[in-house]
Homo-oligomer: A and B are copies of this chain.
Amino acid sequence: MNKEGNFIYTVEVCFSPKLYPEILTKEDFIVVLVDILRATTSICTAFENGVKTIIPVASLDEARILKAQGYLVASEQDGKKLDFADFGNSAFSFTRDKIEGKTLVYCTTNGTRALETAKDAKTIAMGAFVNITALKNWLLKENKNVVILCSGWKNKFCLEDSIFAGALTDALLATPGFITRCDSAKAALDLWSLAKHDILGYIEKAAHRHRLKRLGLDDVIPYSFISDLTSVVPVFNGKEIIKIV
């Protein structure tokens, strides 16, 4: 407890799914999954536009089978939409007219892998700039420790997820209920302090920003770094992603 008698919870940042087994937070915690470019940004957008549920799958074979069963399927590999899929992974694909009230099957390179990594966690919430304040407010009410899990790019550290981890850590530490003892969280805070005044300028140097540009998929980048476009908090319940807030 702190001086004011509030319980104190910890924030820990994990820069890659490969580092998730090493987290120090042992007690009951919420995982915030982050894949700014583009899975968690797209998932928040889909719920903002009325999708009913999202079924994340880790393999293309699963996605193909579910497509044959009549599901709407969003699927990409290395940033490219696959030919059998209805959508790629861009937030701009998930317009209300196409997804409202529907169930969407979702398969991505990095995001789904990170979800698989953390599947033993009781609660996995989807975090992105587009829902950051709603997410923070929900986390404050949950009274649990928080582990921010960056999806990275092919298990490598990536700048865009790391600055989001810094932004969310910053927002949580600004309240009396959270502290951190985690070097990754402190580094993320520092990177966010350098990025926050000109996020798009900062993210110019990110490798994935250039990968998306080569693929002609960088139209979604400015959108992905705008805060609070939605108040949804999507949560994975072990089987599917639903809107909890």
**A contact residues vs B (CB 8 Å cutoff):** 15-16, 18-19, 22, 24, 153-159, 162, 181-184, 186-187, 190-191, 193-194, 205-208
Contacts and interface: CB of A to CB of B under 8 A. Distances in A.
A184 B187 CA distance: 11
Contact of A159 (B183, B205, B207): B183
A18 to B, nearest CB: 5
A181 B207 CA distance: 6
Contact of A154 (B22, B181, B190, B206): B22
A193 B202 CA distance: 14
Tallying the copies of this chain within the complex gives 2
A147 B207 CA distance: 17
Nearest to A161: B183
A193 B205 CA distance: 16
Nearest to A209: B183
Contacts of A162: 183, 187
A206 B183 contact: yes
A184 to B, nearest CB: 4
Contacts of A16: 18-19, 22
6 contacts: A19-B157, A24-B156, A181-B207, A187-B187, A187-B191, A191-B191
A209 to B, nearest CB: 10
B182 A207 contact: yes
A50 to B, nearest CB: 34
Contacts of A159: 183, 186-187
A155 B19 contact: yes
A154 B157 CA distance: 17
A78 B39 CA distance: 39
Contacts of A194: 190, 193-194
